[in-house]
Amino acid sequence: MVLEIHTQVGSTVPLYRQIVDQVRLAVSTGNLAPGDQLPSVRALAEQLVINPNTVAKAYATLTQEGVVEAYPGKGLFVAQRRQTLSNEERGRRLESALHTFLSEILFLDFTKAEILDLLEQRLDAVDAPAAAQDVK
Amino acid sequence: MVLEIHTQVGSTVPLYRQIVDQVRLAVSTGNLAPGDQLPSVRALAEQLVINPNTVAKAYATLTQEGVVEAYPGKGLFVAQRRQTLSNEERGRRLESALHTFLSEILFLDFTKAEILDLLEQRLDAVDAPAAAQDVK
Amino acid sequence: MVLEIHTQVGSTVPLYRQIVDQVRLAVSTGNLAPGDQLPSVRALAEQLVINPNTVAKAYATLTQEGVVEAYPGKGLFVAQRRQTLSNEERGRRLESALHTFLSEILFLDFTKAEILDLLEQRLDAVDAPAAAQDVK
Amino acid sequence: MVLEIHTQVGSTVPLYRQIVDQVRLAVSTGNLAPGDQLPSVRALAEQLVINPNTVAKAYATLTQEGVVEAYPGKGLFVAQRRQTLSNEERGRRLESALHTFLSEILFLDFTKAEILDLLEQRLDAVDAPAAAQDVK
DNA sequence: GTGGTCTAGACCACG
DNA sequence: GTGGTCTAGACCACC
């Protein structure tokens, strides 16, 4: 398993946030299993050609959230107990993200169908690789 | 027609952006029609208990986007709706917003159907008022 | 490459607009290439002996126009050239600028040939450097 | 002869400036001859549906420039002695207007030919009616 | 270090 | 009255 992190250049989302989101996603899709070790701060920083402080901040956030656990001297590992958010919290986050999304695209005058189609397409693209890996 | 702007102080979204979003939304839904006058910088600043410069910044952003037009000495008015952005730029922005949206919600483990349904619901809520006006 | 910004205090053109114009011009002529970093807000403000907020406003305008991109914590960089405006909007802006231009000069009684020649001359001066770079 | 003033809504050029420019143009093309009377402040304000103060300001500017002369109690008339600017002043104004024009359109990425063609077209359109009137 | 946001208060052009 | 510009100085997130 290789953790693939892609950073989006034009985005307003800070780099460390992008890393956090992608690690969380990898954990929730199973690409990263409990006990898996994450690349070191220096290694990931080198791979992404970014400041090590940025990676450190992302890792600190993930640790605080309980997604990963640090074993001092050994490294960072995906937490054994899968983090479960309350349904209220999950709903709140979805609503919040949706609100931001809508405020950014509504004035672009896309049709409802165009938006829904593109979203469905992207959702399929995300699920597909995960499903393929399950077969392995 | 009454423009109601609500700002939440605890939000990470800057105040001026909240104003921009709400005006854009009001225009999208038809709550604000072309030619309608917006509250003056000073009036809105007083109403929201914020600095007039913050409102001015929001208005400047909307002007630059072509959503509203300033008539010197008279005030700010909703502009005729027109698409100022190229199709390429519209596509880029939709892609970018969608990318950010997905990175924020995918790890929440909602099903594809749940996400699509909620989005469709929200899109209907926005389009409805505009459609209702067509009946007039 | 050295970006030279000159501001004239007596002008009716606001300071921040002068900065915007000169950066846009530098990008148009190729004096500033995509990826080039702009001087920091504080540095340029110090150099021009103006308030940093004025420079920030100019930079914000350029960012909104898609001419430059901010990389949080790193600085401002010239963006890849792309047309963010729709063809209709480009046409509207050309028409509007031409209208204003004509209203300011027609009463000066220059001949049609004089005006056309001078404009052609200026357009050549702008295109020349860009063309020269193509040879590289 | 009827003085036709058209005000441009989307323009950033203030209304009073637009009136000044159009009267100056009418004088330079001969549409307004020395001795011709201008409409009263109130009449023109009513015709253009604007504030009388705006018209008054435009007339004051024209008087100050020597383009028109006020005969107290009788009205405003086009000055007998045609105002002549020095060649240096004419050149300076042309350069200045051209500079503003270019800074507004260069980043729109029109070709040199497109710009020149449109300018020529507009110059022809302006000369044509004046020539037609000479025939009358 | 970088840019982004917000406040406070001043001055100006325009109508 | 309106919006637009500029200054001064503060705080924040990000890298």
Give the E-state strand segments of chain D in sequence order.
68-71, 75-78
Instruction: Kindly report the average pLDDT of chain A as a whole number.
Output: 85
Please choose, from the candidates A60, A63, A58, the residue with its C-alpha nearest in 3D space to the C-alpha of residue A7: A58
Using CA atoms, how far residue B102 sits from A39, A93, B18, B106, B135, in Å, is 24, 12, 21, 6, 36
Is the minimum distance from the CB of B40 to strand F below 7 Å?
yes
Residue D29 has what pLDDT?
84
Q: How confident is the model at residue C123 (pLDDT cuts 50, 70, 90)?
A: very high
The answer on pLDDT for A6 being more than 80 is no
Phi and psi torsions of B2, nearest 5°: -125, 125
pLDDT (mean) for C123-134 = 66
Evaluate if the CB of C10 falls below 7 Å from strand F: no
pLDDT at res. A136: 42
Residue nearest to nucleotide F12 (CA to C1'): B12
Nearest to B105 by CA among A123, A33, C119: A123
On whether the CB atoms of residues A86 and A50 are closer than 8 A, the answer is no
Residue of B nearest to D8 (CA): B71
Determine the residue of chain C that is closest to A13 in CA distance.
C72
**Type of residue found at A121:** Q
What's chain B's average pLDDT? 88
pLDDT at A29: 84
**Does B69 contact chain D (CB < 8 Å)?**
yes
pLDDT of residue A20: 93
**Residue A85 amino acid letter:** L
Q: Which residue has the higher pLDDT, A130 or B65?
A: B65
pLDDT digits (tens, 9 = 90+) for C76-118: 999 999 999 999 999 999 999 999 999 999 989 899 999 999 9
Which residues contact residue D94 at a Cβ distance below 8 angstroms, ignoring those fewer than 6 apart?
A: C105, C108, C110, C115, C118
> How far, in Å, CA of B127 to CA of A106, rounded?
10
Position A129 pLDDT exceeds 90: no
C78: helix, coil or strand?
Answer: strand
Which residues touch D45 (CB under 8 Å, ≥6 apart)?
D51, D52, D54, D55
Instruction: Note the strand F nucleotides within 7 A of protein beta carbons.
Output: 1-9, 13-15
Integer Cα distance of D65 and D56 in angstroms = 14
**Are residues B75 and A64 in contact, defined by beta-carbon separation less than 8 angstroms?**
no
Task: Please report the pLDDT score of residue A2 as a whole number.
Answer: 54
Q: In 10 A of CB B98, how many CB atoms?
A: 19
Residue B5: pLDDT band (50, 70, 90) is confident
User: What confidence score (pLDDT) does residue D125 get?
Assistant: 86
Distance D97 CA to F14 C1' (A): 42
Is the separation of the CB atoms in B90 and A108 below 8 Å?
Answer: yes
Per-residue confidence band for D41, with pLDDT thresholds at 50, 70 and 90: very high
The mean pLDDT of D42-64, rounded to a whole number, is: 92
Q: What letter represents residue D24's amino acid?
A: R
- Closest by CA to B56, choosing from B68, B67, B69, B40, is B40
At residue A46, does pLDDT exceed 50?
yes
pLDDT value at position C13? 87
Q: Is the distance between the Cβ of D18 and the closest atom of strand E smaller than 7 Å?
A: no
Among B9-13, B104-108, C25-29, C123-127, the range scoring the smallest mean pLDDT is: B9-13
Reply yes or no on whether the pLDDT at D83 is more than 80.
Answer: no
For residue B21, what pLDDT band results from cuts at 50, 70 and 90?
Answer: very high
pLDDT at C130 over 60: no
> What confidence tier does B135 reach under pLDDT thresholds 50, 70, 90?
very low
Long-range Cβ pairs for the range C20-26 (8 Å, 24+):
C20/C58, C20/C61, C20/C62, C21/D103, C23/C58, C23/C62, C23/C67, C23/C68, C24/C62, C24/C65, C24/C67, C24/D103, C24/D106, C24/D107, C25/C126, C25/D103, C25/D106
What pLDDT, on a 0 to 100 scale, did the predictor assign at position D1?
42
pLDDT at C1: 41
Which chains sit next to D, with 3 or more Cβ pairs under 8 A? B, C
Band (A28; pLDDT cuts 50, 70, 90): confident
Distances (CA, A) of B30 to B36, B122, B134, C35: 11, 16, 10, 41
The answer, yes or no, to whether residue B102 has pLDDT greater than 70, is yes
Q: For residue A12, give both structure tokens.
A: 């307003």
Q: What is the DSSP string of chain A?
A: --------SS-SS-HHHHHHHHHHHHHHHTSS-TTPBPPPHHHHHHHHTS-HHHHHHHHHHHHHHTSEEEETTTEEEE-SSPP---HHHHHHHHHHHHHHHHHHHGGGT--HHHHHHHHHHHHHHHHHHHHHHHH-
The per-residue pLDDT for range A52-82, each reduced to its tens digit, is: 999 999 999 999 888 999 998 899 999 987 7
Q: Is the CB of D106 less than 8 angstroms away from the CB of C65?
A: no
Q: Are A1 and A31 in contact (CB under 8 A)?
A: yes
Nucleotide nearest to D51 (CA to C1'): E15
The CA distance from C133 to D11, in Å, is 36
B59 touches strand E (CB under 7 A): no
Query: Per the CB < 8 Å rule, is B86 touching C83?
Result: yes
Length of chain B counted residue by residue? 136
Stretch D50-79: mean pLDDT: 92
CA distance D87 to A52: 64
Does residue C36 belong to the interface with chain A, where contact is any CB pair within 8 Å? no
Q: Is D55 on the interface with B (CB under 8 A)?
A: no
A10 touches chain C (CB under 8 A): yes
Residue C38 reports pLDDT greater than 50: yes
Nearest to B86 among C61, C64, C86 (CB): C86
Q: Which amino acid is at C11?
A: S
Report the candidate in A38, D125, B11 with the shortest Cα–Cα distance to residue C106.
D125
pLDDT in tens, C4-20: 677 766 678 899 999 99
Does residue D86 have a pLDDT over 90? no
Instruction: Give the pLDDT of residue A89.
Output: 87
Say if the Cβ atoms of B84 and C85 lie within 8 Å.
yes
Q: Is B82 an interface residue toward C (CB < 8 Å)?
A: yes
* pLDDT value at A119 more than 60: yes
Scan residues 28-57 of chain D and list those with Cβ within 7 Å of strand E: 50-51, 53-54, 57
Mean pLDDT of the region D6-16: 74
Please list every residue in chain D whose beta carbon sits closer than 8 Å to the beta carbon of residue B69: 9-10
**A109-113, Cβ contacts within 8 angstroms, sequence gap of 24 or more:** A109/B83, A109/B90, A110/B90, A110/B94, A112/B120, A112/B123, A112/B124, A112/B127
What is the reported pLDDT for C133?
52
Our separate counts of H helices and E strands in chain B read 5, 2
Q: Is the CB of C74 under 7 A from strand F?
A: yes
DSSP C106: G
Mean pLDDT (whole number) for B14-29: 93
- Interface membership of B61 toward C (CB under 8 Å): yes
* More reliable by pLDDT, D108 or D11: D108
pLDDT reading at B80 higher than 90: yes
The Cα–Cα gap between D89 and A84 comes to: 76
Q: Do chain C and chain D touch with ≥3 beta carbon pairs under 8 Å? A: yes
Is pLDDT of C47 > 60?
yes
Q: How far is the CA of B13 from the C1' of F4 (A)?
A: 25
Give the closest residue to D58 by CA, choosing from D50, A123, A97. D50
Could you check: is the Cβ of residue D11 within 7 Å of any atom of nucleic acid strand E? no
| pLDDT surpassing 70 at residue D122 | yes
Residue C54 binned pLDDT confidence (cut-offs 50, 70, 90): very high
**D46 pLDDT above the threshold of 50:** yes
All residues of chain C having their beta carbon less than 8 Å from the beta carbon of residue D8 are: 96, 99-100
Q: Is the CB of A15 less than 8 angstroms away from the CB of C69? A: no
Determine the Cα–Cα distance for residues A76 and D108; give it in Å rounded to an integer: 51
* pLDDT score, position D135: 47
| D19/chain C closest Cα distance in angstroms | 10
> Do β-strands A68-71 and A75-78 pair in parallel, antiparallel, or remain unpaired?
antiparallel
Confidence of residue D111 (pLDDT cuts 50, 70, 90): very high
Neighbours of chain C (3+ CB pairs under 8 A): A, B, D
What's the whole-number average pLDDT of chain D?
Answer: 85
B28 has a chain A CB within 8 A of its CB: yes
